[in-house]
Structure formats: C-alpha cells, structure tokens
Amino acid sequence: MSDLYRSAMYARISKLPQLPPDPPGHEDEEAADSIGALPSLSLSPPINRLPRTPNPEYAPVSGASYFSQAVQVDVPASKLDVRVYYTPPQTTDGSAGSVIVCHHGAGFAGLSFALFAKEVTKLAKGELGILSIDARRHGAHSHIATLPIERSFDEDLSLDILVQDLHNLLRVVFPVPSVAPSLLLVGHSMGGAVIVRVVPLLIEAKYRVSGVAVLDVVEGTALDALPHMPAILNSRPEGFDSVSDAIEWHITAHQIRNITSARVSVPSLVIPTPEPRARGVRAFTWRTPLRTTAPYWEGWFKGLSAAFLAARTARLLVLAGTERLDRELMIGQMQGKFQLVVVPNTGHMLHEDDPLTLAQTLVEFWRRNERVVVGIKKVGDL
C-alpha cells in the first residue's frame, strides 16, 4: 500500500477431494495465458516500442514446481470453475493439519503467491499446507459451461460476491468442517478485504480459523488514494508485444521487484489480444483491465479496518513500509488487538518482492497461534 500512496500523492492530480487432473496444456497456458489496495503503479510513461525479439532474461517460468498440484474446481454455488494451486499439509499424527489460504489482489492471480508457497513448505517442513486461488475475472477461472449464467454475472467483482466465491470454494474443497484442516487466511490488497469478511461465515459453518493476515492495505490510505487512481492507471501500457515484454515492464516499472517471481506470476495476468487486431495494437492485453474494476474500489475497502479488528481469530497486518495507520487501526494496535509487521525494501507486492521474509513471518504467526500453549492468549485475543 505504501508505494501506491506515494504514487497517488505524487500524481495529486487435508487433501483436496478427488479433483480432476490438471487440464492438458496447463504449462502452455501458464506461459501464455489489485487497488492499494491497487498495485503500486509507476508514473513513468507507458513503454512504446516496435515489436522486438523477446528478451530471454524475462522468459516465462512455469509455476508447476511451486505447488503440488494445479486443478480446476467446480463451484456450482458460484457458477464458477476455479483454478486452485495447492500443496496439502504433510502431518505425522493423522490430523488434518493446517492450510494457508491465499487470495490475491485486484489485477493479479493465484501464482502471485508461488514463491511464497515454496518458502512456506520448506520452513514448515511440509506441516503447513498452502492453497492459492484465482478469483473471478482473474487467472484461469471460468464459469461452469453446464450451468445457466447471466451475461453480466462473471463481471461482478463486488465485495459480497467475492466473499461468497471464497466461502463457496472452501466448502467444496473442504466439505466436512469437522475434519477439515485449520485455515490461516492471507489476503493481499483487495484479497485482504475478502478474507476478513469471510471469517464469520467460516466460523458459523464450524471451520477452524487460526488467523487472518492482511497484506499491504490500510483502509484510510486506500480510500484517500482512490481519487488519484485514474491518473496513475494512465501510466500503464494498454498491451505488450509478448509475455516476456509484460514481465519486463513489471520489473522495469517497479511493479514487482523480484524477477523470478515476475517470470512465474505475470504470464497469468495477460492474454492474447482478441482478433482481429487493429494495426499497432499489441499482441497481448490485460486479462483484467483495472479500469473496469473502478465501480468496486470503494466497496472493497470501506469498513475494512473495523472488519479486520472484529475478526474472531488472531490478526496480523503486514505492510511494505512505515505506513500510516488509520485511527481505528492505531487504537487497535495500542490495545494489542493485532500484530503489525513491516517488511523493508519491498513494494506493494511484498509477497513477491520478499517471499522468504513473509513466509518466515507467517510460519511464526501460525506456530504461535495454532500451537499456542494452554493459558497463553493468541495474538489479537482480548
């Protein structure tokens, strides 16, 4: 959130149930194939250049080695076919274990957490599973072809819809709450708004929620930045000559500071430009144009601080810099209602920029709250 705020101010103007195998061509899809909450957008002018041979330094990298499996999950209640990246927990005591559930920000996708997922698996020695999803209109999701669907259904990115999508997905993936793993919910930006609102639904359904972690979004700062977003979005190119070109832009424009992560995550953010293309139009365009999400920006973040502080579980806020906390969070911090961690030398995509530090933070948070000693309160408990 901190990078976005500076830009805005400068502008001023368990295992899964038996799921189908990874679809054929998955590797090719990954190679070809969110608002301060928005990505930290540079104010430098869009890159305009003649088509050129892709730079091998920015060649796409498959996400296959970062998760145990990538599958499509039918979620009839949401009329969606959702791409899920999953590494199940490896327990030795016969328990269901624990799983981190990751929700990306606007304009990004589940592979945004790829490097983070691998670090978590190593640090927790496999005891902590990790599941990362593609939200509707993002990544490799689609609607279920066999179900009737209104033309505009898939376009709705309102908060209530996104919350229901996540809740419905988890009910499919872990259908029996009593034997499901405990869930540690992690949300970046827009995803942070989603995960804090899904907590009461999961608790009501008798799931065990061991904690929530919100990454780089503060309600007050996000809402203050929204009026400046159109000017910031003008800095983004409308398209790219190739997937490698898209990866290069994310690195050179400082959207993502970790080139390895960008090579894994960025390919799922763009799609081939639909034919016929006008002369001069780039070969690849955005999968989720951020301008089209503008009607939902305020709804995502309004009330976020209160919802975070009201979550009946341990709470963690991770920021990319010494961000200003809004009044509610400042009071909550003084009252010890949540843990605050700052990851230095990162931007808005802190989970991509420094996946190891974030993994260390989350694994420690999990161990402290999932394996809490009797008589010691969890982080955020009153």
The one-letter amino acid at 136:
R
Token readout for 129 is: 């599973």
Structure tokens, 264 = 């894994």
Give whichever of 42-56, 192-206, 362-376 has the largest mean pLDDT.
192-206
Closest CA to 48 of 238, 220, 314: 238
160 counts as catalytic: no
Is residue 348 among the annotated active site residues? Answer: yes
User: Cα 202–38–139 angle (5° rounding)?
Assistant: 65
2, 189, 210, 268: the catalytic one is 189
* Banded model confidence at residue 94, pLDDT cuts 50, 70, 90: confident
Q: What is the pLDDT of residue 54?
A: 81
Instruction: Grade residue 95 by pLDDT with cuts at 50, 70 and 90.
Output: confident
Q: What is the pLDDT of residue 370?
A: 80
Task: Considering only residues 354 and 230, tell me which one the structure prediction assigns the higher pLDDT.
Answer: 354
- Residue bearing tokens 């933070």: 361
CA 185 to chain centre: 11
Domain boundaries, the chain: 2-309+318-329+340-358
**Omega of the bond prior to 276 within 30 degrees of 0, cis?**
yes
Chain-wide mean pLDDT for the chain?
A: 84
- Active-site residue, from 33, 81, 165, 216: 216
Q: What is residue 271's predicted lDDT score, i.e. its pLDDT? A: 94
Question: Residues 294-315: pLDDT tens digits?
Answer: 999 999 999 999 999 999 999 9
Sign of CA dihedral 286, 291, 296, 297: positive
Would you state the pLDDT for residue 324?
78
Percent of the chain beyond pLDDT 70? 79
* Confidence class for position 150, pLDDT limits 50, 70, 90: very low
DSSP 8-state secondary structure symbol assigned to residue 12: -
Which of 291, 249, 251, 284 is closest to 268 using CA atoms? 284
Distance from first CA to last CA of the chain, Å, rounded? 28
Please give the DSSP secondary-structure letter assigned to residue 340.
E
CATH code 3.40.50.300 for 2-309+318-329+340-358: no
Among 348, 351, 353, 354, the one annotated catalytic:
348
Q: Are 195 and 5 in contact (CB under 8 A)?
A: no
pLDDT the model gives residue 14: 38
**What would the mean pLDDT of 156-180 be, rounded to a whole number?**
97
Q: Which helix (H) or strand (E) holds 82?
A: strand 80-87
By C-alpha distance, which of 170, 168, 161, 230 is closest to 190?
161
pLDDT digits (tens, 9 = 90+) for 311-330: 999 999 999 976 679 999 99
Which residue has 């955005």 as its token pair?
A: 286
- pLDDT value of position 52: 65
Q: What are the φ/ψ torsions at residue 262 (nearest 5 degrees)?
A: -60, -40
Tell me if residue 250 is catalytic.
no
Chain position carrying tokens 């365009």: 285
Q: Which residue in this structure is represented by tokens 């030795």? A: 92
**pLDDT tens across 206-264, in order?**
999 999 999 999 999 999 999 999 888 888 999 999 999 999 999 999 999 999 999 99
Percent helix, strand, coil in the chain, to 5, is: 40, 15, 45
pLDDT (tens digit per residue) in 20-55: 444 444 444 443 333 334 444 444 444 444 666 789
Q: Which residue would you say has higher pLDDT here, 300 or 144?
A: 300
Q: Pick the closest to residue 313 from 126, 182, 205 (CA basis).
A: 182
- Across 77-81, 230-234, 357-361, which has the greatest mean pLDDT? 357-361
**d(C-alpha 277, C-alpha 149), whole Å:** 28
